[in-house]
Structure 1
Amino acid sequence: MQYSKMDLHAHYLSPGYKKFLKEKFNDMGDGVKTPAYSIETTLEIMNKTKIDYTGLSISSPHINTGEQISTIELAAEVNDYAAEQQQKYPNQIGFFASLPLPYIDASLRTIKHALNVQKAAGFTMPTNSRGIYLGDSRLDPIMALLNEHQAIVALHPNEPGTYDTHVAGQIPVPIIEFFFDTTRTVLNMLQNKVFLRYPNIRFIIPHAGAVLPIVASRVQLAQALNPKLTDEQVDILSVMRSQYFDVAGLVFPQQLPALLDLIDPKKLLYASDTPYTPTPHVIHLAEQLEQTGVLSDAEKHNMFTANAQKLLNRI
């Protein structure tokens, strides 16, 4: 590997989260086999891929168990575990705290504790929590507090709140539905002016923007069909220019070039998506990014390290 890296989309599995996946999903959350994991898994991948710093977060399914008390307890457990790893490896490991969405008071307490006590790098939020999407006005108090603290919020796709499993068929949820749900929640946030009302939140949109690079030019056409939409409610291009995007997953040959036509390259972030992406694939995808001609050497350096350093204020 030529470039040192900072990874802002990598996952961990705490003991409580493993139990959740076992009991609720028979170790097949979102149709994906639960990978083996310990913190050594992360450290080994970092060594093989020349990653100096990893910001860990919980993946999907979201920690909402369907019941308030156990959701709050699971949020505390996953955050405590990650904070412990950060304390053990302060120069190598950081974490994005999970929130017990959609429970407002508990989420507000979690934000304060994560920032003031656990020193979280930021927060991770699912595209939806049991059908409540991130533009929902019920979540406004959470967004307001995150905005007050100028928080970093890494979005992560979740199984859609509603979709026809007969149409989806045998294709696992992460392959297609994750991309649609990321796109769906960003457009939901746009229509409800989340980006305008909470401008201090730095959102990280995963997987090279999912379907957004392909549909962005169509969004503004919505006013022709629905004149009630304001300019701000369809201005997805401003969102694309102002927010951050990670490169988790397979971004070549289509996604990354399309994304780069719409965003500021200084908002591009490296991401491994481990351990759900197996290590050989992580290495291969990193090599693709290192060798691509789509990015200049300076842009590669920024994507791999400098952009994340600036975002996390680690310069």
Structure 2
Amino acid sequence: MYRKIDFHAHYLSPGYKKFLKEKFNDHADDCPTPAYSIDTTLSTMERQRIDYTIISASAPHFSVAYDANQTAEMTAEVNDYGAEQQEHYPDKIGFAASLPLPYVEESLSEIDRALSKNTVAFTLPTNANGTYLGNPDLDPIMSKLNEHHALVLLHPNEPHPATKNMSSKINIAVMGFFFDTTRAVVNMTVNDIFTKYPNIKFIIPHAGALLPVISDRVALSKKMNSELTDSQVDVPGVMANQYFDVAGKVLPYQLPTLLQMVNPNHLLYGTDSPYTPAPLVDHLAKTLADTDVVSEPMKQMIFYDNGKQLLDSLKR
């Protein structure tokens, strides 16, 4: 079994569990809230030979139900729990701090607080109650993350506004999340986030969602809107420089398509545990380990080497 580093794993703090129960009856985004303690993460790590895991909060983002003060309080509770796990298991677990988006001043304060707790990374929702990444109102937050050369994990949320009759049969996390990741990254591209803030290392989840198949189509927008610059529609250029986790079902089609467009040194492993149940985590890892779509050296890169190189670069 390959050694691994996990860049897409989740945790549920006591406050976040309460939030999910009170606001969503434990079925947020059509997903039942999984049972969780830090032992859940450690068990996955032991079973899958994962040396190091970055844990982060999942969807839905707190702002969907709370005002600025409540969102900031919820974010602090979630981050404090993650920081405690990192402190208890410093060689095994790092935490990615959440931010109380879309609230700018509260987010700037939380960045400072999270850095004081030695956060390894930050995690940003694709949209926070309808405010999408790329929105110029969030530029002060991006500027501060850029100043600190931050590693930023993107995570999808339910598209906003939601069209419930389109998701009544197909789980939001299965389809809607892919649309929202794609929408957010395109919006970030159009608003020059990746060029204005080059020191941020972004990890785009789920093998880039729909970006590999829509990137060329976005470029056509320039023919319809002459005010757009080349950089604002250059999704392939953005993808060539970002990182991607391969959490979820990326074979047999998605990963080979992604590999045509991205730096293979920027592919990272992810379990999406505990929202992906343990048997499916094991199955997906085995599928990637056994595939003949990618070479053995590339599998070693995806499972471990690329992640080790990225983490080492953050220490410099």
TM-score by length of 2: 0.97
The CA distance in 1 between the partners of 2:166 and 2:83, in whole Å, is 40
Measure how far apart 1:294 and its partner are: 2.0
- The aligned residue for residue 266 of structure 2 is 267
The answer to whether structure 1 residue 241 and structure 2 residue 231 are counterparts is no
- The aligned residue for residue 164 of structure 1 is 163
Letter in structure 1 aligned against 2:243:
Y
The farther-off stretch of 245-254 and 60-69 is 60-69
SS for the counterpart of 2:41 is: helix
Measure how far apart 1:170 and its partner are: 2.2
The answer to whether structure 1 residue 89 and structure 2 residue 89 are counterparts is yes
Runs of 4+ in 1 over 2 A off after TM superposition: 167-170
The CA distance in 1 between the partners of 2:67 and 2:204, in whole Å, is 28
The CA distance in 2 between the partners of 1:11 and 1:259, in whole Å, is 24
The CA distance in 1 between the partners of 2:22 and 2:306, in whole Å, is 39
The CA distance in 2 between the partners of 1:67 and 1:217, in whole Å, is 39
The CA distance in 2 between the partners of 1:8 and 1:167, in whole Å, is 30
- The aligned residue for residue 58 of structure 2 is 59
Measure how far apart 1:218 and its partner are: 1.3
The farther-off stretch of 206-215 and 289-298 is 289-298
The answer to whether structure 1 residue 99 and structure 2 residue 103 are counterparts is no
- The aligned residue for residue 24 of structure 2 is 25
1:1-315 to 2 correspondence within 5 Å?
Answer: 2-64=1-63, 65-115=65-115, 117-313=116-312
Measure how far apart 1:103 and its partner are: 1.1
Measure how far apart 1:168 and its partner are: 2.8
SS for the counterpart of 1:108 is: helix
The CA distance in 2 between the partners of 1:78 and 1:168, in whole Å, is 28
Measure how far apart 1:311 and its partner are: 1.4
Measure how far apart 1:254 and its partner are: 1.1
The farther-off stretch of 75-84 and 224-233 is 224-233
| Contact 2:5 2:269 (8 Å CA) reproduced | yes
The CA distance in 2 between the partners of 1:206 and 1:183, in whole Å, is 10
Measure how far apart 1:167 and its partner are: 2.8
Structure 2 unaligned segments of length 5 or more: list them.
Answer: none
The CA distance in 1 between the partners of 2:311 and 2:51, in whole Å, is 14
Measure how far apart 1:19 and its partner are: 0.3
Letter in structure 2 aligned against 1:44:
S
| Contact 2:68 2:106 (8 Å CA) reproduced | no
Measure how far apart 1:313 and its partner are: 1.6
SS for the counterpart of 2:239 is: helix
The CA distance in 2 between the partners of 1:307 and 1:225, in whole Å, is 39
* Percentage identity across paired residues of the two chains: 55
The CA distance in 2 between the partners of 1:232 and 1:252, in whole Å, is 30
Matched pairs, number: 313
The farther-off stretch of 215-224 and 267-276 is 215-224
The farther-off stretch of 305-314 and 16-25 is 305-314
SS for the counterpart of 2:173 is: helix
